[in-house]
Structure 1
Amino acid sequence: MKIKWNKILLLVGMAFYVYGLKLAYTDFISPVFTYFGFINLHPSTSEQFVSIVFVFIPLLWSNTHAYRPSRIVYWILYMMVYVPAMIVPDYVRMDNFDEILILKCVLLFCMALLYMTANFKLIPIYYVKIKTKVMMILITLFSLSLWGIIVHTFGIHFNFSQVDDVYDLREAYREQVNRFSGYAINWQSKIVNALLLALGFVNKNKLLICIGVLGQLFIFSITGQKSVALSSVFIIVIIFCLRKNGRNFVLYFVYGITALVFLTMALDLMTNSSEYTSLFIRRMLITPGLLLSYYFDFFSVNPQVHLSHSILEPFMTYPYDQLPPFLIGEHYFGRPDLAANANIWADGYANFGYAGIIGFTVLLVGILYLYDSISEHRNFIVSAALIAMPAWSLVDTSLITSLLTHGILIAFIINYFLKTERKADPLYERNHRFKLRSSLE
């Protein structure tokens, strides 16, 4: 019997990742941020064991490579939303053997749905032929128009003297931003700059890479949003992990995030602070799980909103005087001005309960399936980089908001019209039927 070493390495990597998250929460985050809701109720061994079982079940059907963009989205949601959603509630809830077990089962089902997306037989896509040079000119004009809106709204200045106090930057940004400049910031940082980085690496063009990175830094100097500054690193890491058409992407990705978790704890130990764990672990990895727990607890006993604050607003009456993120911010954090923006599944539960979680997942599956089909004859790294940042936004944003505001539709348009050369790989260039596969090694 052949030993599947990649599968063993994946299990080992995930074991270290789970241990790292737990250690970071109990020893670094909770002691400092208890006042902010990151409490530690010292869950029992049985509660923690059940949560870990939920974490590892998806690994039974998972392999260690990504051959379609939908798999990139799957692993982003698994590592940054699903795993924290299994672990973090144990520490903040009195009873983890109540209805939250149903929530975890529903999330597990949703992960299976997302994973199967890459096994569907792709539909044939008719491409409208536009010369690559013409498309690049159009993208350049689009980018220049976005920069024009940004500069007109915020001016030309690098506020790096204020980077140490990002809250001042964010406050100034909120006072100046409007609907158009908000879209411009999101589309430029999450789509255009990501495209420049991907094209730069694929074509070995250092100029494009520099433009993409500098663009992100400039936008960070305006917004003070650390996610913008980190996004350059995130995209570069994704591109690095996608070498050889995504073979062993999962191992690179899992071990990369795990290394980040332990590195940040080591840095805080050396500096006797909580700055690094707060930025990289609390904000990026722990908070999505915490907020999903809070959304679940709140909307289990209070009226769900049924999109009455969104696309169904003309047809329904919204039952609250605040939007859901501000409701959670006031109820659990004691700050009515805090927007506790939640992920795709927390938003789904706030709207329609379990049906909302499954419904939005099915919608995401359809979106990713169409994106996979469009990407079949496009460069894999470019296609993946275009969808990676909008997928990252699903960690703390609803699917409906991500479609337009965070650029999913823009990624579709660019990937459809921009012809990029796909590197041939006979081992993985195949259609996969609707079935779960334990491995493809």
Structure 2
Amino acid sequence: MQIKWNKILLIIGIALYVYGLKLAYTDFISPAFSYFGFINLHPSTLEQFVSIVFVFIPILWSNTHAYRPSRIVYWILYMMVYIPAMIVPDYVRIDNFDEIITLKYVLLFCMALLYMTGYFKLIPVYYTKMKAKVMMLLIALFSLSLWGIIVQTFGIHFNFSQVDDVYDLREAYRDQVNRVSGYAMNWQSKIVNALLLALGFVNKNKLLIFIGVFGQLFIFSITGQKSVALSSVFILVIIFCLRKSGRNFVLHFVYGITALVFLTMGLDLMMNSSEYTSLFIRRMLITPGLLLSYYFDFFSVNPQVHLSHSVLGPFFNYPYDKLPPFLIGEHYFERVGLAANANLWADGFANFGYAGIIGFTVLLVGILYVYDSISANRNFVVSAALIAMPAWSLVDTSLITSLLTHGIVIAFIINYFLKSERKVDPLYETNHRVKLGSSLE
């Protein structure tokens, strides 16, 4: 009976979320940003109904618990990429019953693949023996080296006086940043600080939480990237939702994001603005769906790039004079130099079409399967927090870029070597016992 009510609550939460996104788009985002591509072509009732059907099909196989890190990634992608990809194109495309329907079927298939990862029998993992204190010392040294690179490149200063003009901060950051310092920024903000927040929560250590949040704010004061400032809240929300070993993670996560959508609209109604909906809804939730539609339209009629700008450069000639994000930025937003960075599925289509979307999803399934296996004898909250930020990066970054640049590989290394006690909810032990071979410590 509890499972039935949880499923009903999940359906209601998703319905409210979809309604909130649509309301935010039609009443706040499109009126304020139609000049920037967020137009409203007033889709028909039938077009919107078909899109909503695609939204709800994954609920048929979904439940409301998340006992593996792969399920955390699944729900992040479902809420922040899949749902926007279903509903946003309706508003910017003239015909929503052309090849875009095939794209939606492919994305639905990819969501099913991702969800199946949570049912795979985990592989036994041999853990190299290393004392937790030694690993924590190595992490501290790693973090200090990252901070050394950051300070050497950007200096020690807080630019909060310029926070209202983040574009000046971003411009200054782009002028100073190099490849090494870029890696340092990403690894510190998306992996090390997230780890500190998770460990602080698990061990009830307020100092670690303070250091993690302070580190994020310091990096934001340099980069001007609002995603960095929001990431502290994002990680803490993920950790909060993971209480009781993820038993009610899905409901907490869905209703949390839904509440954020309506809260931001309420703030903008009171202030007669679109500032908050732009920051929290347009940038984080609507744009991934919009850009997927643009990537699909462009690379359906123009040559796909086959990773010729990346790892397959020696084997293929790149057909353009700009990288894909700048192509889309110039073509659809009419701004030279605008990088329209899109999600893993948009990048997959740009490279290999539908085969690229499915191929990169299969690769992600493999990555998550190995990560789940490593996490079987690790603290679930710590494992999930480590992979949450790299997973969030998939909302606007390719999978290949996220592996190293955004820290997926680093998350694997830390999770493997950092011995942490796995605390499991008794309900999980009784009803959802993980089947896996013996893991060696």
The equivalent position to 1:431 in structure 2, one of 421, 434, 439, is: 434
Map 1:320-335; keep pairs closer than 5 Å. 320-335=320-335
Map 1:109-148; keep pairs closer than 5 Å. 109-148=109-148
C-alpha deviations, 1:313-345, integer Å up to 9, x for none? 112100000000000000000012100000000
1:257 aligns with 2:260: no
Amino acid corresponding to residue 32 of structure 2 in structure 1: V
2:4 & 2:32 partners in 1: Cα distance? 42
Amino acid corresponding to residue 46 of structure 2 in structure 1: S
Indicate the residue corresponding to 2:33 in structure 1.
33
The secondary structure found in structure 1 opposite 2:427 is coil
Indicate the residue corresponding to 1:376 in structure 2.
376
The secondary structure found in structure 2 opposite 1:371 is helix
Indicate the residue corresponding to 1:438 in structure 2.
none
Do the aligned partners of residues 36 and 134 (structure 1) sit closer, same or farther apart at CA in structure 2, a change above 3 Å counting? same
Conservation of the 8 A alpha-carbon contact between 1:120 and 1:431: no
1:426 CA displacement: 4.2
1:336 & 1:377 partners in 2: Cα distance? 49
Map 1:309-320; keep pairs closer than 5 Å. 309-320=309-320
Indicate the residue corresponding to 2:7 in structure 1.
7
The two structures, once aligned, show a CA RMSD in angstroms of 1.0
Conservation of the 8 A alpha-carbon contact between 1:196 and 1:209: yes
* TM-score of the aligned structures, taking structure 2 as reference length: 0.97
Amino acid corresponding to residue 434 of structure 2 in structure 1: N
Do the aligned partners of residues 34 and 124 (structure 1) sit closer, same or farther apart at CA in structure 2, a change above 3 Å counting? same
1:244 & 1:340 partners in 2: Cα distance? 39
2:118 & 2:5 partners in 1: Cα distance? 23
1:425 & 1:395 partners in 2: Cα distance? 30
1:3 CA displacement: 7.3
Extract structure 1 runs of 4+ deviating beyond 6 A.
none
Indicate the residue corresponding to 2:365 in structure 1.
365
Map 1:228-243; keep pairs closer than 5 Å. 228-243=228-243
1:425 CA displacement: 3.0
Indicate the residue corresponding to 2:295 in structure 1.
295
1:178 & 1:267 partners in 2: Cα distance? 38
1:354 & 1:424 partners in 2: Cα distance? 39
1:428 CA displacement: 2.1
Indicate the residue corresponding to 1:210 in structure 2.
210
Do the aligned partners of residues 2 and 378 (structure 1) sit closer, same or farther apart at CA in structure 2, a change above 3 Å counting? closer
Indicate the residue corresponding to 2:304 in structure 1.
304
Conservation of the 8 A alpha-carbon contact between 1:88 and 1:289: yes
2:332 & 2:435 partners in 1: Cα distance? 45
Indicate the residue corresponding to 2:398 in structure 1.
398
1:114 & 1:307 partners in 2: Cα distance? 23
1:60 & 1:312 partners in 2: Cα distance? 39
2:384 & 2:2 partners in 1: Cα distance? 32
Indicate the residue corresponding to 1:439 in structure 2.
none
Amino acid corresponding to residue 338 of structure 2 in structure 1: L
* TM-score of the aligned structures, taking structure 1 as reference length: 0.97
1:340 aligns with 2:340: yes
1:226 & 1:411 partners in 2: Cα distance? 22
1:431 CA displacement: 2.7
1:246 & 1:411 partners in 2: Cα distance? 20
1:124 CA displacement: 0.2
1:3 & 1:410 partners in 2: Cα distance? 36
Identity of counterpart residues, as a percentage?
88
1:277 & 1:425 partners in 2: Cα distance? 37
Indicate the residue corresponding to 1:269 in structure 2.
269
1:54 CA displacement: 0.1
Conservation of the 8 A alpha-carbon contact between 1:118 and 1:432: no
Amino acid corresponding to residue 197 of structure 2 in structure 1: L
Amino acid corresponding to residue 225 of structure 1 in structure 2: Q
C-alpha deviations, 1:199-249, integer Å up to 9, x for none? 000000000000000000000000000000000000000000000000110
Q: Which runs of 5+ in 1 are unaligned?
A: 434-441
C-alpha deviations, 1:150-180, integer Å up to 9, x for none? 0000000000000000000000000000000
2:213 & 2:163 partners in 1: Cα distance? 17
Amino acid corresponding to residue 297 of structure 1 in structure 2: D
C-alpha deviations, 1:97-150, integer Å up to 9, x for none? 000000000000000000000100000000001001100000000000000000
Q: Which runs of 5+ in 2 are unaligned?
A: 437-441
C-alpha deviations, 1:69-123, integer Å up to 9, x for none? 0000000000000000000000000000000000000000000000000100000
2:314 & 2:2 partners in 1: Cα distance? 60
The secondary structure found in structure 2 opposite 1:164 is helix
Do the aligned partners of residues 381 and 362 (structure 1) sit closer, same or farther apart at CA in structure 2, a change above 3 Å counting? same
1:129 & 1:3 partners in 2: Cα distance? 40
Amino acid corresponding to residue 37 of structure 1 in structure 2: G
1:106 & 1:208 partners in 2: Cα distance? 42
1:370 & 1:238 partners in 2: Cα distance? 21
1:58 & 1:102 partners in 2: Cα distance? 17
C-alpha deviations, 1:24-61, integer Å up to 9, x for none? 00000000000000000000000000000000000000
